[in-house]
């Protein structure tokens, strides 16, 4: 049996897969930020949240993908935290979530793989490894097209009266917000990116409004211009996406891609189906 993990800061998707690629068991636990947690803290979380749900399945190999799993030291911490809890696993690989996206979307073929959820990221993948990556830079300096940036643009346009008055009033009333509350949540409280991303559904609900549609389309075009088009083969290869924002706004994403001379390929809500296929 193999165990595949797609780990984020808030949720981890674990899937036990049999030899034929069949799903034997699927478990969801809390997220683990490998940058923020120690090896001992991760081991304890795995022990308390995952192990009781695994049952009697014998795990031979583990493929763990997580945000922040870039440095050897961090990957080593994750690997040891898994090994102490699942001693039957003779092979444990730890990789970044961007490689998860690339393998899930492109398999063993070259392509452009992108993440577009709360944050955004992209890479050129040659079918085996990530060969080029434009730094996403986070929601303040980059992360174009992400839920956090869409929320940031929305809030800015509302507070600076760049959207029609009825939309501004509707937004503030629906989320029970005012200027001072928004400023406090963004500048003084933690996880401002999640707060901003939580506001982005308003855009989807009102996507028929021209001003809203243009806001989303403009951010997606920025993603292609500032990220995807930096790769040499961006106009030759399909540009593929994983993430909630890419799924919810697929029509507008396709329009943005075409306007930049790119071809939109596969879109997945989560990488797990593609990872199961890849590792099977």
**Residue 192 near residue 198, CB atoms below 8 Å:** no
Residue scoring higher pLDDT (68 or 132): 132
What pLDDT, on the 0 to 100 scale, is given for residue 174? Answer: 96
Averaged pLDDT for residues 190-219: 94
- Whole-number average pLDDT of the chain: 92
Give pTM, 2 decimals: 0.87
Residue 170, both tokens: 């509707």
What pLDDT, on the 0 to 100 scale, is given for residue 5? Answer: 94
Q: How far apart are CA 8 and CA 101, in angstroms?
A: 13
Which helix (H) or strand (E) is 266 found in, with range? strand 263-268
What pLDDT, on the 0 to 100 scale, is given for residue 55? Answer: 80
Residue limits of CATH 3.30.420.40 in the chain? 2-89, 109-269
Q: What are phi and psi of 226, to 5 degrees?
A: -90, -10
pLDDT band at 209 (very low <50, low <70, confident <90, very high): very high
CA geometry: angle at 19 spanning 18 and 24, to 5°?
10
- Spatial neighbors of 150 by CB under 8 A, at least 6 apart, are 196, 197, 200, 203, 215, 216, 219, 245
What pLDDT, on the 0 to 100 scale, is given for residue 147? Answer: 92
What pLDDT, on the 0 to 100 scale, is given for residue 169? Answer: 95
pLDDT band at 93 (very low <50, low <70, confident <90, very high): very high
Residue 145 has pLDDT above 80, yes or no: yes
Averaged pLDDT for residues 21-44: 87
Q: How far apart are CA 157 and CA 137, in angstroms?
A: 22
pLDDT band at 175 (very low <50, low <70, confident <90, very high): very high
Q: CA quadruple 80, 81, 84, 86: dihedral positive or negative?
A: negative
Residue located via tokens 């899930």: 104
Residue 161 has pLDDT above 90, yes or no: yes
Instruction: Report the range of poorest mean pLDDT among 81-85, 140-144, 168-172, 177-181.
Output: 140-144
Averaged pLDDT for residues 71-88: 92
Residue 191 has pLDDT above 90, yes or no: no
Residue 54, both tokens: 């695994």
What pLDDT, on the 0 to 100 scale, is given for residue 139? Answer: 80
What pLDDT, on the 0 to 100 scale, is given for residue 269? Answer: 92
Averaged pLDDT for residues 7-16: 86
Residue 123 has pLDDT above 90, yes or no: yes
Any idea which architecture 2-89 has in CATH?
Answer: 2-Layer Sandwich (3.30)
What pLDDT, on the 0 to 100 scale, is given for residue 263? Answer: 94
What pLDDT, on the 0 to 100 scale, is given for residue 21? Answer: 81
- CATH assignment of 109-269? 3.30.420.40
Instruction: Report the range of poorest mean pLDDT among 68-72, 164-168, 180-184.
Output: 68-72
Averaged pLDDT for residues 250-257: 96
Q: How far apart are CA 203 and CA 200, in angstroms?
A: 5
List alpha helices for the chain, DSSP H.
39-45, 51-54, 72-85, 97-106, 138-141, 147-159, 165-174, 179-187, 192-199, 201-205, 210-226, 244-248, 250-259, 272-279
What pLDDT, on the 0 to 100 scale, is given for residue 137? Answer: 84
Residue 10 has pLDDT above 80, yes or no: no
């Amino acid at each position: 049996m193999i165990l595949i993990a797609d780990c984020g800061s808030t949720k981890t998707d674990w899937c036990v897969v049999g030899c034929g690629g069949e799903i034997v068991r699927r478990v969801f636990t809390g997220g683990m930020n490998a940058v923020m947690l120690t090896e001992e803290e991760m081991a304890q979380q795995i022990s308390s949240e995952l192990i009781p749900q695994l049952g009697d399945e014998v795990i031979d190999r583990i493929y763990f993908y997580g945000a922040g799993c870039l440095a050897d030291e961090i990957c080593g911490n994750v690997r040891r935290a898994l090994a102490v809890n699942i001693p039957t696993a003779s092979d444990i690989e730890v990789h970044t979530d961007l490689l998860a996206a690339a393998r899930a979307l492109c398999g063993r073929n070259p392509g452009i793989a992108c993440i577009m959820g709360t944050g955004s990221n992209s890479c050129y993948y040659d079918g085996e490894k990530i060969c080029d990556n434009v730094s996403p830079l986070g929601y303040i300096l980059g992360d174009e097209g992400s839920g956090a940036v869409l929320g940031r643009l929305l809030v800015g346009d509302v507070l600076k009266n760049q959207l029609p008055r009825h939309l501004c009033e509707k937004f503030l009333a629906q989320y029970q917000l005012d200027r001072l509350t928004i400023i406090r949540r963004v500048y003084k409280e933690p996880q401002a990116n999640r707060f901003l991303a939580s506001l982005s559904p308003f855009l989807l609900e009102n996507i028929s409004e021209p001003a809203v549609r243009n806001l989303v389309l403009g951010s997606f075009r920025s993603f292609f211009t500032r990220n995807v088009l930096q790769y040499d083969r961006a106009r030759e290869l399909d540009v593929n996406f994983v993430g909630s924002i890419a799924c919810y706004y697929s029509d507008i994403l396709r329009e943005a891609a075409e306007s930049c001379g790119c071809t939109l390929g596969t879109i997945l809500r989560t990488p797990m189906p593609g990872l199961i296929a890849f590792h099977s």
